[in-house]
Amino acid sequence: MTHRERILAALNHKEPDRIPIDCGSMRSTGIMGMPYNTLKRHLGINTGVTKMYDMVQQLAIPEQWYLDRFGIDCVDLARAFSDTDADWIPWRLPDGSSALRPSWVPLEFIGDTWLCKNEAGLVLGKMSPSLVYFTQTHHPLAGSETEDFRDLRTLLGHTIWGSVADPAWRHAGSPDFAQLLRQKALELRNTTDYAIMFGIGCNLFEYGQYLYGSENFLINLLLEPLKVEKLLDSLLEIHLETIEKVVSAIGDIVDILVFGDDLGSQNSTLISHNLYRRFIFPRQQTMFSRVHARCQAKVFLHSCGAVSDFIPDLIEAGVDILNPVQLGAQGMDPVRLKRDFGRDLVFWGGGIDTQHVLATGTPEQVRSEVIRNCEIFNRDGGFVFNQVHNIVEGVPPQNIVAMYDAVLEPLVLAQYT
């Protein structure tokens, strides 16, 4: 099977020749720059350069050697926009190792802290010496009483997540964006056999938090529901325009469109089921239905945490693929998830607990957990291997190698037959 055929088989709930594998096809399935550089040193790889395509989370673009060595089957369309050297400038990671960062992201180093700004010079976030990624510091609607969201597009650009674009979305303001998007997608389709994914975000619940701050927005859900409805309707209008633009340009080329909205914490959903059904569900359903009506691409939803109580609703809303399948969160038991939802949902992730086993276990413990989870999730297809969320700083390179090798071993696939 080709890489793409392997992914498509899994998406159609068929068992492929081996379990498909992902790293870096979207901004929550990748690897941070520091463990990436450590892995390169561990493997004796001295060629190439580490490019940090997501500055907020400090994520590296997996180079071709990584895709080849670890059997990666899918890629982010944004990587096709990352090959112009002039777009990248030298960057020093917190551990002192070298990388390149996007030249289009305004950063300033003051004292011992990196500040991330938008094009207007507004400070949106910071990375202090105790952190290895940027955190949002500016919430443009914090303390605001406004119910007029006609300027919402501008306000989104005053949040770190709405302003710091990846290599593809940095061109969104260009009149030729749709044409450029299609050109790059066709290049990937015609020159590789990878499945192609494209992130369009279209967050609802999260953007409310980015705009107001988490506590303020959660309070507004209860105390000012009509204002929240207006905000979410304005967001939906913007998101539907985005979906239409993207689907018109590349809906016949890409295999998966990636949405995001974290709905869970470690121990529960972040809001009640009633609040989800009122505020989030109908608007998600509208967006996902639009995708399904306009193209064949699958709907991928990244939603962290203990979201098992919402999974029936997500399926009803039109989600085809759920990520990251956070095993360590309450109620996210692999056996139950596969039994109850495996016919209707593709699990993209859940390959290994990143918080504990991958970070602190031995290579043998890593291998054992990977094999166990693969045995559960891959039966009858509907599974793409990925660790739970990004590989972060501190994960030993030996564990990264053990994780992928456990999936690639013939022994793993043989246990299903």
Specify the pLDDT at position 281. Answer: 99
Residues of the chain with pLDDT under 70: 410-417
pLDDT, residue 410, reads 66
64, part of any domain? no
Give 269's DSSP letter: B
**Is 190 a member of any domain?**
yes
- CB-based burial of residue 226 (10 Å sphere; 0-12 exposed, 13-18 middle, 19+ buried)? exposed
Report which secondary-structure segment, H or E, holds 124. strand 123-127
> Is 125 part of a structural domain of the chain?
no
H or E, element range at 293: helix 281-294
pLDDT at 409: 86
pLDDT digits (tens, 9 = 90+) for 298-337: 999 999 999 999 999 999 999 999 999 999 999 999 999 9
pLDDT at 417: 40
pTM of the predicted model as reported, rounded to 2 decimal places: 0.96
* Overall domain count for the chain: 1
pLDDT at 102: 97
**Where residue 368 sits, what CATH number does that domain have?**
3.20.20.210
- Asked if the structure places residue 59 within a domain, the reply is no
What pLDDT shows up at residue 85? Answer: 87
406 lies in some domain = yes
Element at 127 (helix H, strand E): strand 123-127
**Token pair listed for 228:** 């929240």
Bridge-based pairing state of the strands 74-76 and 195-201? parallel
DSSP-derived letter for residue 200 is E
Residue 93 lies in a domain: no
Domain-embedded: residue 111: no
Instruction: Write out the DSSP string of 351-416.
Output: SS-IIIIIHHS-HHHHHHHHHHHHHHHTTTS-EEB--SS-B-TT--HHHHHHHHHHHHSHHHHHTT
Q: Which pLDDT tens digit goes with each residue over 96-107?
A: 999 999 999 999
Domain enclosing residue 333, as ranges: 3-47+70-81+145-414
